[in-house]
Chain A
Amino acid sequence: MTEFHGWDMPLYYTSIIEEHMAVRQAAGLFDVSHMGQVVVKGPDAVRTLNRLLVSDIVQVGIGRACYTLMLNDAGGILDDLIVFRLGAEDYLVIVNCSTRESDVAWMNEHLVGSTTITDISEGRGILAVQGPLACRLLEQILDARVTSLGRFDIAPIRTMSPEACIARTGYTGGDGFELFLPNTHLLRVWDAILTAAGSRGVKPVGLGARDTLRVEAGLRLNGTDMDAATSPIEVGLEWTVAWNKPDFIGRQPLLKQKQQGVGRKFVGFELAQGPVPRQGYELTVDPAAGGAGGRRVGTVTSGTFSQMLNRPIGMGYVEPACAKPGTELTMTVRSQRHTAKVVKLPFWKAEAPAPVLSKSTAATLEKLS
Chain B
Amino acid sequence: MIQIPPELVYTKSHEWARRLPGAAQAGDAIEIMVGITAHAQEELRDIVFVELPKIGRTVKQGEAAAVIESVKAAFDIYAPVSGAIARVNEAVVKSPQLVNQDCYGTGWLFAITPSDPKEFSSLLSSGAYSQQVQAQAH
Say yes or no: A305 contacts B71, CB within 8 Å.
Answer: yes
From B51, B71, B73, contact of A334 by CB (8 A): B51
A interface size (C-beta, 8 A): 16
> Using Cβ atoms and an 8 Å threshold, which residues of chain A touch B51?
275, 334, 336
What 1/0 mask marks residues of chain A from 273 to 315 whose CB sits below 8 Å from any chain B CB? 0111010000000000000000000000000110000001000
Say yes or no: A12 contacts B45, CB within 8 Å.
Answer: yes
Q: Does B29 sit at the interface, judged by CB under 8 A?
A: no
Q: Which size bracket describes the interface of B in this complex?
A: 10 to 19
Complex Cα distance, B71 from A276, in Å, reads 8
Say yes or no: B45 contacts A275, CB within 8 Å.
Answer: no
Complex Cα distance, B73 from A313, in Å, reads 15
From A15, A278, A334, contact of B46 by CB (8 A): A15
From B46, B71, B72, B74, contact of A275 by CB (8 A): B74
Q: Does A11 sit at the interface, judged by CB under 8 A?
A: yes
> Using Cβ atoms and an 8 Å threshold, which residues of chain A touch B69?
275-276, 305
What is the distance, in angstroms, from A17's C-beta to the closest C-beta of chain B? 5
What is the distance, in angstroms, from B106's C-beta to the closest C-beta of chain A? 19
Q: Does A332 sit at the interface, judged by CB under 8 A?
A: no
What is the distance, in angstroms, from B43's C-beta to the closest C-beta of chain A? 12
Which B residues fall within an 8 A CB radius of A? Answer: 45-46, 48-49, 51, 67, 69, 71-74
- 18 extra interface residue pairs, beta carbon distance < 8 Å, beyond A275-B51, A276-B71: A12-B45, A16-B45, A16-B72, A17-B45, A17-B71, A208-B46, A208-B71, A208-B72, A212-B71, A276-B49, A276-B69, A276-B74, A304-B71, A305-B48, A312-B48, A312-B49, A334-B51, A334-B67
Offer 29 A-B interface pairs, CB within 8 angstroms, sorted by A.
A12-B45, A12-B46, A15-B45, A16-B45, A16-B71, A17-B45, A17-B48, A17-B71, A208-B46, A208-B71, A212-B71, A274-B49, A275-B49, A275-B67, A275-B69, A275-B74, A276-B48, A276-B49, A276-B69, A276-B74, A278-B74, A304-B71, A305-B48, A305-B49, A305-B71, A312-B48, A312-B49, A334-B51, A334-B67
